[in-house]
Each structure stands twice: as C-alpha cells, then as structure tokens.
Amino acid sequence: MNSEEVKQKFYNRYYRPDEKVRVYFSPGRVNLIGEHTDYNGGFVFPCALSYGTYLVCRKTAEPVIRMATTNFDFSLEIPIDQLENKIGEEWVNYPLGVFNELVSKGFNPGGIEMLYSGNIPNKSGLSSSASIELVTAVALNDLYNLDIDRIELVKTGPAAENNFVGVNCGIMDQFAVGMGKKDHAIFLNCDTLEYDLVPIQLEGYKLVIANTNKTRGLADSKYNERVSECQKAVQDLSQGTPIGYLAELSSREFFEYQHLIEDPIVLKRARHVITENERVIQAVMALKAGALEEFGELMNASHDSLRDDYEVTGIELDTLVEEGRKIKGVIGSRMTGAGFGGCTVSLVKDEAIEIYIEKVGPAYQEKTGYKADFYVAEIGNGASRLQNK
C-alpha cells in the first residue's frame, strides 16, 4: 500500500476529509553484524531498509488517542490520561509505550487520530516494532511541536519496550530506524551513542534477506533470559576487574578473567558478546577497505557464535544459513536480529542470487516445512515526514 492509499483509508475510517493530515514513514532495519551486543554496551552495524511503516495522522480536539492499522483487525480508542497499562500482547503497546514515555517525561502531546500501515513482514526480526515506535515519536514531536531532538526521540523506543512492553532490549533497532541513511550502515557504539555512517559499496554483490517465516514463540522471554545471563557474567567478572558492561572487556582480558564465571552457560553467553563485539570492529574495517570476502567470513563467524555460544538460532535459521553457504558466490550468511526465528542476511554475488533463491528455498522447505521468502535489501533513510496535506 502506498501513502496515498493509506491516506484514503484514514479518511474512510475517521471521516472529515476537509481536515489536513500528515504522513510519516519509518523504515525497518537489518543488522549486518553485532548481535546481542547493544544491551552489553558494545558495537553494532545495522542499516535502515526501504520497507517500513506509514503513519497518517492528525490532531483531535478531544484528549484521546485513536489508533488503527491496515495490517491487523485491532483498533483502539483510549483517553490520554488512562495510559498506564499494557493492553494484552497487541501491537498498539509499541505506540502507547512511546506516548507514555513522552507524557512521563513531562511532554504534552494532545489527542490524535492515527492510521498505521506497514510492509515489513511481521515478527521477521526486521524491527517492525521499532519502526512503529519511531514513526510515532517523530509524528508526535512534529505535530505537537515538542522540540525533542532526534537522539532523544530514538531513546523513547527502547524506553517504551523496557518500561511498558516488558522487553529489555537495547537501542540498536530504534537507532537504525531513526538515524539511517540511504546506502549507508551505522557503526554505532551503544554505550556512548557515537556513530559513523559507513557507505555500503558492495561492488558485484548484494545483501539478500531470507525470512524463515517461523513465528518467534517465546522470543521475548528468551530474550530477557539472555539479558539476565549477561548481567550475571558482569557480576562474576567484576570480582576480578570491575566493569559496567561486558563489552568493556577485550577478548584478551576476558580470557584472563573467565575462570570467575561459574556457570558454563553464562560463560558461553559472555564469550559470544565479547568476540562478537570485536568482529564488528573488524567487519567495519574490512568493508571500508573493500575486503568483502573478509566481511563475509566475519558474518559467518558471527552466526556460528550465535548458534553455539548464544544459542539463539534454531533449525530454521541454521538451515537457511547452511544451505546458503553451499552456494558458490555466497560469501557470508548469518541470522539477523534477536534470533529464535526471523531472518538471515547473506552477502551474495550478483550472478548467484537467482540460484541461491532457487536452491535454498526448496531445501529449507523440505527440512523445516516452512516456505522461506527472499528479498534483495535496499538500504533506505531514517524516519521522516513525507508530506503535509
């Protein structure tokens, strides 16, 4: 659906076609490397996609929020002063969480009518939730002249997830969808929020996303479990060297103090985070130097560590990756996002894309029973207002 069609649907739902609306768009994201490092104060390397979420909205005189989407059959009307609690497991909790954050920080967005429409495959690990959060934050800021700078808007996303939705995620997804730039990836230090926009020049190669189409059951609770395991590792390691985050340690320092971690599972989790963090730095250097083969090898090593040490892959993601790596011209393949289902991202030679899809699709279906979807990634811009009227 394009923005004009969403606008039409807005008027069909909320009427008053003579009153102006505004249209916003926020992308999804794909992370190239640096998984489960963000909440450990580490580096990540995501980029915004051209897929994303449209939001058509306008102010209302009454202090109520009206929300609907063209994607699901669930809409809501709620007075702004009754925003305390999460509503089941519904998608509306992402925008409500953002609203709640702004109100709790003393901002005063008034009533609003909103219609969302997303073209990111749902629960695919391409951050449809962060996309909804940022499109909401950007729209409220603009519509109500709240004068909040972009980084602060980005921060309302993870705050909404942590405080309202109940997922202890880091800042990577919202940073990517809020700060993305066409044909660039963001090398982000999640501790200091310093970042560098790195041009993605893949002479002769493309990034191909493959969706497992496996719904990520229990993903949120498993995610929070990983966050706690990392916190446990910080506590144990701090007996030898006081740290606030795992990513403060180099792998050399980690190997010196790893004996302080008693639980072998916690040890594996920490090893993933620390080695992954170093892989991000190496991968960015490789990309800047045009060393694509090396970049691909680091993607492969990242996946293997997420499979063996962090244990967030599963048969679906592993099958897509294994089958992909069998194809000549696929020089790197890994899961992207939280894991437990969702998508892989692969670096594939232009001439090999067709054969990659032709071979991996059926092999994957045969092994798992799911049908995979494939997309050549287009790297787009961060969230913005599209038009006025």
Catalytic annotation, residues: 173
DSSP 360-385: HHHHHHHHHSPPPEEEE--B----EE
Smallest gap, in angstroms, from Cβ of residue 20 to ligand GLA?
A: 34
Smallest gap, in angstroms, from Cβ of residue 295 to ligand GLA?
A: 18
Give the range of 3-11, 35-43, 293-301, 354-362 binding ligand GLA by CB under 6 A. 35-43
Residues 39-78 binding ligand GLA (CB under 6 A) are: 39
Smallest gap, in angstroms, from Cβ of residue 190 to ligand GLA?
A: 9
Q: How far apart are CA 179 and CA 134, in angstroms?
A: 10
Q: Where are the beta strands (DSSP E) in 247-357?
A: 330-336, 343-349
Task: Establish if 98 lies at the interface with ligand GLA (CB under 6 A).
Answer: no
- Start-to-end CA distance of the chain, whole Å, equals 18
Residues 240-279 binding ligand GLA (CB under 6 A) are: none
Burial class for 182, CB neighbours closer than 10 Å (0-12, 13-18, 19+): middle
Strands 112-118 and 64-69: parallel
Task: Establish if 316 lies at the interface with ligand GLA (CB under 6 A).
Answer: no
Give the range of 30-38, 132-140, 266-274, 289-297 binding ligand GLA by CB under 6 A. 30-38
Q: Which residue has the tokens 């450990």?
A: 40
Please count the residues of the chain. Answer: 389
Number of residues interacting with ligand GLA: please give it, by CB under 6 A: 10
Of 94, 123, 3, 108, the C-alpha closest to 57 is: 3
Q: Distance of alpha carbon 307 from its chain centroid, rounded?
A: 19
For ligand GLA, which residue of 36, 58, 269, 303 counts as binding (CB under 6 A)?
36
Helix (H, G, I), strand (E, B) or coil at 56: strand
Q: Note whether 74 and 102 are within 8 A (CB).
A: no
Residue among 143 and 313 whose Cβ is closer to ligand GLA: 313
Smallest gap, in angstroms, from Cβ of residue 129 to ligand GLA?
A: 8
Of 367, 340, 368, 344, the C-alpha closest to 356 is: 344
Task: Establish if 338 lies at the interface with ligand GLA (CB under 6 A).
Answer: yes
Task: Establish if 337 lies at the interface with ligand GLA (CB under 6 A).
Answer: yes
Residues 140-179 binding ligand GLA (CB under 6 A) are: 169-170, 172-173
How large is the C-alpha radius of gyration of the chain?
21
For 107, other C-beta atoms within 10 Å of its C-beta total 16
Residues 6+ apart with CB under 8 A from 371: 213, 361, 365
Give the range of 6-14, 33-41, 53-61, 347-355 binding ligand GLA by CB under 6 A. 33-41
Give the range of 34-42, 57-65, 111-119, 231-239 binding ligand GLA by CB under 6 A. 34-42
Task: Establish if 209 lies at the interface with ligand GLA (CB under 6 A).
Answer: no
Smallest gap, in angstroms, from Cβ of residue 37 to ligand GLA?
A: 7
Smallest gap, in angstroms, from Cβ of residue 304 to ligand GLA?
A: 16
Residue among 283 and 360 whose Cβ is closer to ligand GLA: 283
Residue among 60 and 189 whose Cβ is closer to ligand GLA: 189
Measured in degrees and rounded to the nearest 5, phi and psi for residue 246 equal: -60, -40
Site of interaction with ligand GLA (CB under 6 A): 35-36, 38-39, 169-170, 172-173, 337-338
